[in-house]
Amino acid sequence: MRSTSNVREHWARLVDCRPGEGRLLAWSFAAFFLLLAGYYVLRPLREEMGVQIGPEKLQWAFTLTLAGMFAIVPLYGWAAARLPRRQLLATVFGLTALVLAGFQVWIAGGASPVAALALFVWVSVFNLIVVSLFWTAMADSFAHAQARRLFGMIAAGGSSGALLGPALTAVSVHAVGVHGLLLVSAALMLLSLLCILRVADGRAPAAAGRPVGGKVLAGLREVATSPYLAMIALLIVLQSVVGTFVYFEQARLVKAAALSAEARTQLFALIDLAVNLLALGLQALVAGRLMQRLGIGLTLAAVPLLLTIPLAVLAAIPVLAAVLVVQVISRAGGHGLLRPAREALFTAVEREARYKAKNVIDTVLSRAGDALGGWLHAAAGLGTAGVALAAIPGALALAWLGRQLGQRYRRQVAAVSTATTAVNPPEETPASG
């Protein structure tokens, strides 16, 4: 018993988990673990579909994805305005699983070009919708200081699941077929929903049993009228543009390498493995401590500043291996540090903004950045070295914007704390942004 107690105390110190938070942290970790496991079961398949579509046509796939977001977000806004939190979660996750099951029926006899494009677009759409709603539920369930301490470890649950997903694909695809993977993903999504509801029900604010209310397109209005939300939106758009430039170069150079479809799928799975191992370490051991000690602003600025170094190397050595290194660092840093810090920003906004404006930012504006990056890449016609040089100013702008957001976050928290009654005991706020 003493040994078990020592292990628990050591674990609590490692993750900075306070008394009464362990159960909620465990359910949150499990929910994100299952959610990203379900997504990463399909991600290698989506990447292969992207190569089959062709790097020269990917901007059209991203544009169709953006169109899909524009079609879905008003429906989501309608549901968020009318459904209590529990029903909203169940509806979104349930429909996601149902659509995946529908795709399973569609491609069971083989995927046509239209089905392949549709699957690429849908995976790109549903991934952002469900992940955004997951983090909305977390921001609704944890206080500001708890978010800074615990969101890194919750994000580590996602990276752990992202390690499991490709492994499940590798060991089961021959047994269940490509179409069977869609059902595996759907089952993991539903299990994730059950865990999210345990967190949401355990930390339900008084308003959680009521619909958010407001207008269907209120999220767009909130982003347009709030400087704080507009800066978060700009951060995500710019991050998407920079990431898309690198992604397109990866697709172009991988296709030029003339690998087989199986070899390409394996390469993408290995990239995912490297990304998620690195991201897991950052989330579990670095993100929470960095946000606590240096603040959210410096945490947001750290990754883009570090990214300028491998981008400069890529400009000097424009080969596939260098692109893959940049991709791993960019994605791992984005998942490991940028994402937990970015999600903590939403603990400082009102509840309607969390459910509506956040969804618009995470889905429509994120995919708008992808589409913009795709068309800019196509129009510029740059080689690999030119793409790397063009991405460096974008990374520096991201670092500056992250620093500014950290300062606004502190002011936003102070304003919200003044206007509302504090439910949790106050904790020390880092002096730095």
Per-residue pLDDT, 159: 81
Say if CB 180 and CB 189 are below 8 A apart: no
Residue 269 neighbours by CB under 8 Å, 6+ apart: 44, 166, 169, 170
Domain ranges of the chain: 18-419
pLDDT tens, N- to C-terminus, the chain (433 residues) = 455 555 455 555 556 677 777 888 899 999 999 999 999 888 777 776 776 666 677 778 878 888 888 888 788 878 877 888 889 999 999 999 999 998 888 877 766 778 778 888 888 888 888 988 898 888 888 887 888 888 888 988 888 898 888 788 777 777 777 778 889 999 999 999 999 999 887 655 545 455 555 554 567 788 888 889 999 999 999 998 988 888 888 878 887 887 776 677 667 777 877 888 888 888 878 888 888 888 899 999 998 999 999 999 989 988 888 888 888 888 888 888 888 888 888 888 887 777 778 878 887 888 788 888 888 888 888 888 888 898 999 999 999 999 999 999 988 888 766 655 444 444 444 434 4
Instruction: Please tell me the predicted confidence (pLDDT) of residue 431.
Output: 39
The dihedral over CA atoms of 301, 305, 311, 315, expressed in degrees to the nearest 10, equals 130
Cα dist. 11→5, 155, 427 in Å? 10, 17, 21
> In the block, which residue shows the tokens 């674990």?
11
| pLDDT confidence of residue 215 | 52
Cα–Cα distance for residue pair 286/292, rounded to 1 Å: 10
Query: Does pTM top 0.75 for this prediction?
Result: no
DSSP 110: -
- Look at residue 197 in the predicted model and tell me its pLDDT: 92
Cα–Cα distance for residue pair 157/140, rounded to 1 Å: 18
Closest CA to 103 of 191, 178, 162: 178
pLDDT value of position 103:
86
pLDDT of residue 211: 57
What pLDDT is attached to residue 238?
A: 92
Structure-block tokens of residue 301: 């600025």
At the second CATH level, the architecture of 18-419 is Up-down Bundle (1.20)
DSSP 363: I
DSSP 213-246: -S-TTHHHHHHHH-HHHHHHHHHHHHHHHHHHHH
Q: Compute the distance between CA of residue 147 and CA of residue 344 in angstroms, rounded to an integer.
A: 6
CA nearest to 76, candidates 342, 350, 361:
361
* Nearest residue to 47 (alpha-carbon basis) of 296, 257, 271, 369: 271
pLDDT of residue 284: 79
389: CB partners within 8 A, 6+ apart:
311, 315
